[in-house]
A and B are shown apart, each in its own frame.
Chain A
Amino acid sequence: MSGREKIHLEKIDNYRWRIPRAGKMRVDGLIYADEGLLGEIHEDESLKQVANVAHLPGIQKYSLAMPDIHWGYGFPIGGVAAFDWQEGVISPGGVGYDINCGTRLLVTNLSTQNLRDKIKNLVNALFQNIPSGVGSKGTLRLSAQELRQVLKEGSAWAVKNGYGRPEDLDCTEDRGCMEGADPGVVSERAMDRGRPQLGTLGSGNHFLEVGFVDEVYNPEVARVLGLRKDQVTVLIHSGSRGLGYQVCDDFLKKMSERVRQLGLELPDRQLACDFIQSSTGQDYFSGMACAANYAWTNRQMLMHWTREVFERVLQMGPKELGMHLVYDICHNIAKREFHIIDGERREVCVHRKGATRAFPPGHPALPEVYRKVGQPVLIPGDMGRYSYVLVGTERAMEETFGSTCHGAGRVQSRTQAKKASKGRDLHRELEDRGIYVMAASRATLVEEAPEAYKDVSQVVEVVHQAGISSKVARLRPWGVVKG
């Protein structure tokens, strides 16, 4: 029932490709990729989705796509688009169901030799103490009033209630609390789905990974970020769980109705949107901010329990372990930001769906410690290869509304991954590569097999060479908890 259209691309340079404006597109599309990745990108419908996003009212400069782009619904995964704050639209499909899905990176004072004979115990303990898996429920029993506080305050609520340290907030995007959150616009249904799930990792591509710094590309910046070669690290990837999915669905419904009322012509229903200044637009922004705050609280709690498990298993105190938060970033979000467009400073709503903020050195949104080096960007790869730490650049600010890629991006569908792993012992294969994995289900493990993803190194190389972020260090997975 769907035809695959060949989208016409013009090469700008080795890392940039243009989809020229055609039909009712309001701006060009701009794709960051090299020849190799482009071949994979052509396999699915993601380029058409980049062109579709260019149809939306108020879009500025380009409809952008990062090198980890793949077929999403509505917006492509890996898509970035900015809309004029006064005249433009906001779209739940441009954020995704898992609002503020994101990653956080912790460092430790440990080197790999300190952990060599304890890694399995540690991963087992993390798996037992951190709820994960499909429909996982947390240990917390929140009242409706408490959940509303979570939605309003975000990470600060967690810290106030004993989950973590005040300094964690300094190293969280937006200090773990998005402006404009109003629990009043969040439906009972979203609250019902979210209440039992706070403090859970979830399933699918969500994970908690103990790893180590395997390569340092920029020693000076690495030092500022607190990273050194062979240091043990922890990377956490999770989001807003059922609460975020429900907020997205609730507003897709409302906006589908508004699209009909307004008579907007959209190439895909999943692009349903409304003007930012409309009451539905404002309500969505407030509801999305609530879900974002829930996700930050969630990751803050997951991090807190991770620290506790390390202390218990390794019999070390917090000072000795030195488990500092390097940074926490979201990669599914719409943000109110200021950017220079046609030489003018303009207020826009930047949608990043499977894309990461990458602000340059000197940006006022950065914590004091990173002001000189730029915003840390965390790019998780698959569980068999690498993850990367980069920093944002001025060029990202000029070209991509301060944005970069968010991960490896899938190259095999889940069914393909399942077929490819038939009869194989993935646990064993990974262990032979020095990676110990605990997964809530075999299905997840199989679907998340390393070869189901693009090589994250290739994706990172593109954003580095294109200058929209800059490599600092590479991490290698060692012990992985999968949902």
Chain B
Amino acid sequence: MKRYETFDHTADLGIRIFGRTYEEVMTNAAYALFDLLTDLDRVQETLSCAIHVEAAEREELLIRWLNELLFLCESQGYLFKRFHFSHLDQTSLKAVAHGEIFESSRHEFKTEIKAVTYHQVAIRENDGAWEGRVIFDL
């Protein structure tokens, strides 16, 4: 099953995220973020980081989760490739993200993502398949 695909937004970039469960969509959304930022084949899992996010509802939780990861990437250079949730419901999550810190000799940023926007954000289930939708501000 495809984890995500990008779609066009004139100035920016959207992603459609797929999963069999809500948890898979949240995982694949995080994966998509870093897959767009850098070449994940070059990222090793040498460290992990605990993340806790809360929001008023599911769509907002998705945005806050991604913005949290983006903040960790930009402020401290974290590149994550694997995610594990110890808790996940509609309004809060506790996760551990695995990866390493950006090193210019081995890693490259492919694009700059300024932020994860709330514009037309969606996350829903259709006949047992889950799909999410997010637009990044580039």
The reply to whether B10 and A71 form a contact with Cβ atoms under 8 Å apart is: yes
Whether A256 touches B10, Cβ cut-off 8 Å, given contacts A98-B114, A270-B118, A414-B138, is: no
The reply to whether A272 and B118 form a contact with Cβ atoms under 8 Å apart is: yes
The reply to whether A270 and B109 form a contact with Cβ atoms under 8 Å apart is: no
The reply to whether A135 and B9 form a contact with Cβ atoms under 8 Å apart is: no
B82 is an interface residue with CB less than 8 A from chain A? no
A-B contact pairs, 16 of them (CB 8 A): A1-B133, A71-B10, A72-B11, A73-B119, A74-B117, A74-B119, A97-B117, A242-B75, A245-B114, A249-B115, A260-B56, A269-B118, A270-B117, A413-B8, A414-B138, A415-B6
Which among A1, A256, A410 is the interface contact of B118 at CB below 8 angstroms? A256
When distances are taken between beta carbons in the complex, the residues of chain B under 8 Å from A268 are: 118-120
Query: Chain B's nearest CB lies how many Å from the CB of A165?
Result: 31
When distances are taken between beta carbons in the complex, the residues of chain A under 8 Å from B111 are: 134, 203, 443
Q: Mark A397-415, 1 if CB is under 8 A from B, else 0.
A: 0000000000000110111
* A residues with CB within 8 A of B: 1-2, 44, 46, 70-74, 77, 93, 96-98, 133-135, 189, 192-193, 202-204, 242, 245-246, 248-249, 252-253, 256-257, 260, 268-270, 272, 410-411, 413-416, 441, 443, 483
- Give the nearest-CB partner of B67 in chain A: A249
The reply to whether A71 and B11 form a contact with Cβ atoms under 8 Å apart is: yes
Tell me the complex Cα distance, A428–B122, Å.
42
The reply to whether B118 and A252 form a contact with Cβ atoms under 8 Å apart is: yes
* B residues with CB within 8 A of A: 6, 8-13, 56, 59-60, 64, 67, 71, 74-75, 102, 108-112, 114-115, 117-122, 124, 131, 133, 135, 137-138
Tell me the complex Cα distance, A2–B135, Å.
12
Tell me the complex Cα distance, A389–B12, Å.
27
When distances are taken between beta carbons in the complex, the residues of chain B under 8 Å from A270 are: 117-119
Q: Point out which of B64, B75, B102, B135 has the most chain A C-beta atoms below 10 A from its C-beta.
A: B75
When distances are taken between beta carbons in the complex, the residues of chain B under 8 Å from A133 are: 109
The reply to whether B74 and A193 form a contact with Cβ atoms under 8 Å apart is: yes
Query: Chain A's nearest CB lies how many Å from the CB of B132?
Result: 10
Q: Point out which of B102, B117, B131, B138 has the most chain A C-beta atoms below 10 A from its C-beta.
A: B117
Which among A73, A192, A253 is the interface contact of B117 at CB below 8 angstroms? A73
When distances are taken between beta carbons in the complex, the residues of chain B under 8 Å from A242 are: 74-75
Tell me the complex Cα distance, A246–B89, Å.
26
Whether A415 touches B133, Cβ cut-off 8 Å, given contacts A252-B118, A257-B56, is: no
Q: Point out which of B11, B108, B111, B133 has the most chain A C-beta atoms below 10 A from its C-beta.
A: B11
Whether A73 touches B137, Cβ cut-off 8 Å, given contacts A248-B115, A268-B119, is: yes
4 residue pairs, one from A and one from B, having the closest CB atoms? A73-B119, A413-B8, A134-B109, A269-B118
When distances are taken between beta carbons in the complex, the residues of chain B under 8 Å from A443 are: 110-111
Which among A189, A256, A415 is the interface contact of B56 at CB below 8 angstroms? A256
Which among B60, B102, B120 is the interface contact of A1 at CB below 8 angstroms? B120
Number of residue pairs spanning A and B whose beta carbons lie under 8 angstroms apart: 103
- Give the nearest-CB partner of B77 in chain A: A135
Tell me the complex Cα distance, A166–B132, Å.
51
Known: A93-B118, A204-B138. 11 other contacts (CB 8 A): A1-B131, A1-B133, A70-B11, A71-B10, A72-B119, A73-B119, A73-B120, A77-B11, A204-B112, A242-B75, A252-B118
- Give the nearest-CB partner of A203 in chain B: B112
Tell me the complex Cα distance, A2–B121, Å.
10
The reply to whether A413 and B10 form a contact with Cβ atoms under 8 Å apart is: yes
The reply to whether A414 and B120 form a contact with Cβ atoms under 8 Å apart is: no
Query: Chain B's nearest CB lies how many Å from the CB of A244?
Result: 9
When distances are taken between beta carbons in the complex, the residues of chain A under 8 Å from B6 are: 415
The reply to whether A44 and B10 form a contact with Cβ atoms under 8 Å apart is: yes
Q: Point out which of A2, A72, A202 has the most chain B C-beta atoms below 10 A from its C-beta.
A: A72
- Give the nearest-CB partner of B123 in chain A: A1
Tell me the complex Cα distance, A459–B92, Å.
46
Query: Chain A's nearest CB lies how many Å from the CB of B5?
Result: 11
Which among A2, A246, A410 is the interface contact of B11 at CB below 8 angstroms? A410
Which among A192, A245, A415 is the interface contact of B115 at CB below 8 angstroms? A245
Query: Chain B's nearest CB lies how many Å from the CB of A238?
Result: 13
- Give the nearest-CB partner of A242 in chain B: B74
Tell me the complex Cα distance, A411–B8, Å.
11
Tell me the complex Cα distance, A180–B9, Å.
35
Tell me the complex Cα distance, A443–B110, Å.
7
Tell me the complex Cα distance, A268–B121, Å.
9
- Give the nearest-CB partner of B59 in chain A: A269
When distances are taken between beta carbons in the complex, the residues of chain A under 8 Å from B60 are: 256
Which among A71, A135, A260, A410 is the interface contact of B109 at CB below 8 angstroms? A135
Tell me the complex Cα distance, A270–B118, Å.
5
Tell me the complex Cα distance, A66–B59, Å.
31
The reply to whether A189 and B75 form a contact with Cβ atoms under 8 Å apart is: yes
- Give the nearest-CB partner of A244 in chain B: B114
Q: Point out which of B109, B112, B131 has the most chain A C-beta atoms below 10 A from its C-beta.
A: B112
When distances are taken between beta carbons in the complex, the residues of chain A under 8 Å from B121 are: 269
When distances are taken between beta carbons in the complex, the residues of chain A under 8 Å from B71 are: 189, 193, 246
Tell me the complex Cα distance, A226–B59, Å.
52
The reply to whether B112 and A135 form a contact with Cβ atoms under 8 Å apart is: yes
Tell me the complex Cα distance, A72–B114, Å.
14
Which among A71, A193, A248 is the interface contact of B75 at CB below 8 angstroms? A193
When distances are taken between beta carbons in the complex, the residues of chain A under 8 Å from B119 are: 72-74, 93, 268-270
Tell me the complex Cα distance, A2–B74, Å.
31
The reply to whether B75 and A192 form a contact with Cβ atoms under 8 Å apart is: yes
Tell me the complex Cα distance, A46–B10, Å.
10
Q: Point out which of B114, B115, B131 has the most chain A C-beta atoms below 10 A from its C-beta.
A: B114
When distances are taken between beta carbons in the complex, the residues of chain A under 8 Å from B11 are: 70-72, 77, 410, 413
